[in-house]
Copies of this chain bind each other. A is one copy, B any other.
């Protein structure tokens, strides 16, 4: 039921309304653990279940999480868990869990807390566009509310303790999703990735750790959570993102000036294939949607309803597609259903070249 309600509106990180440009969304994630209980990887199912039941109650009582839903992973079909992953509400790892772990979140999807992923609490605030400070302030409030009610595992020397050493300290991971087709088309993405990595940030794909950068989508996030204050982490990331956005703007300007035909060809082919293909893999769909998005942002294409197109980023993903069709589909049949859905949405969205 919860999942059925969620998919009635676009995922929180897509709700920017089409004016976001290179920055798709901002995300703050905080890892916390209870001092009194074994970490999820060491606790048995029964202990996990007790922790989940206790934490869901605490979380739902927190003012920032007013009106939130809570659901155990064991209450969800695999397809629904995959769908939550596609909406970036849970991790791929969490989607594979069962009894003893769960999710508490607000219906608008901006706040989501995984319970018993690799830490007892993985709290997430996600917002469209570049909005890290606001996301951090919401997160900070939620953390304070919970911190006053439970005893967090904390070391005066190290800070907050977590299952993985990379999260020890603040437990904070701030990340921004960027759409960078200009840099990719100008073959300038590699130096950007190298530069960002060199100053201690990580660059990942659309669905986080271990995922390839499809659709020219890149997630930039802090690597280190120890030894820096939260505000500093958020501030540094924001600065780097603004720099990358500047690079992307430059790349797009040079693309238009010096490689206009390549740009128009890329945009035109993306549109032509999306509107006419009958078989589309999710990777190809994301890559082509990137071209369409670039065309709209560079005024090569126009459309009546940009949000419909943005939503396709998620709606073309396997679980969303199957949910919509109301049944499980083999990959081959998903590719057919995906192409059909894309053709239909593009017709509705009224994509046209700007004369």
Q: Which residues of A contact B (CB under 8 A)?
A: 261-262, 264-265, 268-269, 271-279, 336, 339
Contact = CB atoms under 8 A, between A and B. Distances in A.
Contacts of A264: 278
Does more than half of chain A's interface fall in helix, strand or loop, or is it mixed? helix
Given A336-B261, A339-B265, A275 B278 contact: no
Contact of A279 (B262, B274, B276, B277): B262
Contact of A277 (B265, B275, B278, B339): B265
A39 to B, nearest CB: 48
24 contacts: A261-B278, A261-B279, A261-B336, A262-B279, A264-B278, A265-B277, A265-B278, A265-B279, A265-B339, A268-B277, A268-B278, A269-B272, A269-B273, A269-B276, A269-B277, A271-B272, A271-B276, A272-B272, A272-B273, A272-B274, A272-B275, A272-B276, A272-B277, A273-B273
A277 B269 CA distance: 5
Nearest to A343: B268
A291 to B, nearest CB: 10
A308 to B, nearest CB: 19
A268 B274 CA distance: 10
Nearest to A260: B278
Contacts of A261: 278-279, 336
Contacts of A275: 272
A265 B338 CA distance: 12
A294 to B, nearest CB: 14
A244 to B, nearest CB: 28
A151 to B, nearest CB: 58
Contacts of A339: 265
